[in-house]
Each structure stands twice: as C-alpha cells, then as structure tokens.
A and B are shown apart, each in its own frame.
Chain A
Amino acid sequence: MRVSVEYMSLIRDASGVDAEDLISQTDSLTLADMLEHLAENHAEPFRAAVLDNSGTMHPWLMVTVNDVLVRSPEAILRDGDRVTIAVPISGG
C-alpha cells in the first residue's frame, strides 16, 4: 500500500520536505504505525515533533486523512489515502 503524506507548519520544518509517499508491504496501517514508520525514516527532530518519549502521538498533533481530521492513533489507513500532519498554528 501507498499513502501520500503532506507536512504542514512545524512538522514541515522538522521533516525538511513538503510531502512524500509512505510505502508499506501490508494492506492497512494504523495511524500510530504510520507515524512510527515516518519517524524511522527521518532523523530528529521529526520523531520528537510527532511522538512523545513513549512513542505516543502528541495530543496536539493535527492529522487529516482524506480531508477529515482523525484523532485516534488506532485509525486505519489504506492504499491511496491522503494524509496531512501539522502542529496547530497560532498568531497573532
């Protein structure tokens, strides 16, 4: 399966790229699995930007799948899904 991932705001700064594809040999992935795969593919500070010390997704991370906000790390991703990952931004 292939998932397209787009980075926004401080996650884009941490990843160093605007977007990339994640390819997995499985038919589906949880959101937590996807973040772990991405963290393995990137050097710090990316891991710290998306996961806490115990490997759990930060509570403030904004992840969308096919333009719908997804809050559960157990949400299932499938081939062709479009994901965005961002730290919420402020102002002012």
Chain B
Amino acid sequence: MTPSPPTPLPPFANPTSPIDDTDRATYQWQLWTPGFDEVSQARLKSATVLISRVGGLGSPVAYELAAAGVGHLILCHAGNLKHSDLNRQLLMTHDWIGRPRIESAARRLRDLNPRLEITAIPDNMSDANAERLITQADLVVDAAPLFEERLAMNDASVRLGKPVVECAMYEMQATLTTVIPGITPCLRCLVPEPPKPWKREFPVFGAVAGTVGCMGAMEAIKLLTGLGTPLAGRMLSMDLRTMQFRITDLGAPPSCPVCIAAHRTR
C-alpha cells in the first residue's frame, strides 16, 4: 500500500476573455508567480465557479477567488444571518443580522471586486437544482454543512464531468480534496451515505474555516489554470491543534454507482 503519484491535469477554464490593462495592474503580484502568466489570468477571468454555501468555508473561498480575478461566481446560500454565524462567515457583518446571507455575501464581494459577475441563488444545493446550476460552471467548490447537500452536488458534478473541490472542517481539524470525475474517487465513492453521527452544528473556529477555505480557493485557481499539483485523488488532513498535516492517497479508482453510470454514458 504505497501512495500513487499525483495525476497531472489540463486547465479546466478556457481563456476566452483576454485581460486588459486594469487586470494587468490589479493582478500584477500574482502574475509574477512562476507558471502563472497572462493566459492563466485570462482563464480566471473567463471562469465560472459555483460555491455551495458561502458560510464559514465558502466565505473565504469566494473572497479569495474574487480577489484573484475569477470572472463569475455562482453562490448558493439560503437563510438569514444570525449572531452565531459571525465567528466564521466572513462575508457577513453585524449590521446584516436578520437579513439574507446571500445578499451580504454578494455586497462584500462587489466591494472587493466590482468587475466580478455574481449569480446569487438564495437556495441551498439539492437534487432539484444541482444539475441546472452546475452545468453553468467550470468548477464547483463544496462548502456545504450537510452531507445530503454535498452528495446531491457530487452526483450532479460527476454526471456533468465537473471537478469539485471538497472543503470540510470540524473543531480544529479540516480536510481538503479534489474530485475529478472519471479519474479520482468522488465524494460518494468515499462516503456512500451521510454519516449518521454528523451533526448540523459543531465546534469550530473561524480561523479553521479560513485556513481550509483559502486552501480550497488556491486549489480552484490551480485547477482552472493548470498551475501546480492539485489534490486530485489525495486528501489533505489538517489538525490545527497540533499543526500536524497529512496527505492520504484515496486509493481505488471511481467505483460508486454514480461514477460507474457516468462513465458508461460518457
């Protein structure tokens, strides 16, 4: 049982919108990164990323993608803001208590990047809307609290062949992996049904959400542009209590009924 080597992947976004001088000035510091050039920036500008929930995990994902110049974000998040959201949902502010969270998120993202196109969906992801929304995206980031939502989004993403960055957290621990349909195990391969012990509310710090959310955003940037080595088929587990980080090889090829059915129709 030795870990297999990481799989090289092509960029998941096409550079259809060329960058302009404002982009060159805004993204100057990241354009100095080896392996990331103006075509890479154009890929981000042309990209659509769907983020399922913009709470503790999804807020930093959305903020970092907006900052990096991703052109279009589709954000899904139902419900109104509560005090207990504010330790970690960094796109929310105290003055927005009792008002829709999705509006707060969109407002904060537009302050950061007025060129960003935002499609704000005031619903959570489910079997009813997943395919319709995911078909519009180049890539999906899973930052939802319930495994039912995660599995609905997973199944639709696998059917549509869209990569998914899976961010998760609990207490002072977090995990991150990337699903590439047809190549890596999907979430349902790993978690065939919602784990019964998982509860909607759990202990966590905003800094844990921020850590894995920022890493998830970096993973998305890498996938969209072909930069670096993503966590495809590998899971990063972090324990911020001890600062122990570990990468697990997710082993077997895609094997769940959703992966097998998608492979058959492709």
- Measured CB to CB, the nearest residue on chain A to B89 is A92
- Which of the 9-residue segments A20-28, A35-43, A58-66 touches chain B? A58-66
Known contacts A10-B197, A10-B198, A91-B143; decide if A71 and B237 are in contact (CB<8 Å): no
A3 proximal to B (CB < 8 A):
no
Count residues of A near B (Cβ-Cβ below 8 Å): 25
A49 proximal to B (CB < 8 A):
yes
Q: Do the beta carbons of A90 and B246 come within 8 Å of each other? A: no
Q: Do the beta carbons of B198 and A67 come within 8 Å of each other? A: no
Chain B contacts of A1 at CB under 8 A? none
Count residues of B near A (Cβ-Cβ below 8 Å): 45
Chain B contacts of A66 at CB under 8 A? 1-2
Known contacts A8-B237, A92-B143; decide if A62 and B190 are in contact (CB<8 Å): yes
- Measured CB to CB, the nearest residue on chain A to B247 is A67
Chain A contacts of B1 at CB under 8 A? 65-66, 68, 70
- Measured CB to CB, the nearest residue on chain A to B167 is A91
Known contacts A88-B195, A91-B55, A92-B145; decide if A67 and B249 are in contact (CB<8 Å): yes
C-alpha gap A74/B250 in the complex (Å): 17
Least distance between B21 CB and chain A CB atoms (Å) = 38
**Interface flags, A48-61, vs B, CB<8A=1, else 0:** 01000000001110
- Which of the 9-residue segments B27-35, B38-46, B170-178 touches chain A? B170-178
Q: Do the beta carbons of B145 and A67 come within 8 Å of each other? A: no
Q: Do the beta carbons of A58 and B167 come within 8 Å of each other? A: no
A32 proximal to B (CB < 8 A):
no
- State which of A9, A60, A70 has its C-beta within 8 Å of the C-beta of B171: A9
- Measured CB to CB, the nearest residue on chain B to A59 is B192
Least distance between A12 CB and chain B CB atoms (Å) = 8
- Measured CB to CB, the nearest residue on chain A to B4 is A68
Q: Do the beta carbons of A69 and B191 come within 8 Å of each other? A: no
Chain A contacts of B142 at CB under 8 A? 91
**Interface flags, B142-155, vs A, CB<8A=1, else 0:** 11111100100000
Q: Do the beta carbons of B198 and A90 come within 8 Å of each other? A: yes
- Chain B interface residues (CB < 8 Å from chain A): 1-3, 52-53, 55-58, 142-147, 150, 167-171, 173-175, 190-198, 209, 235, 237, 239, 242, 246-252
A-B contact pairs, 6 of them (CB 8 A): A69-B249, A88-B147, A91-B58, A92-B53, A92-B143, A92-B145
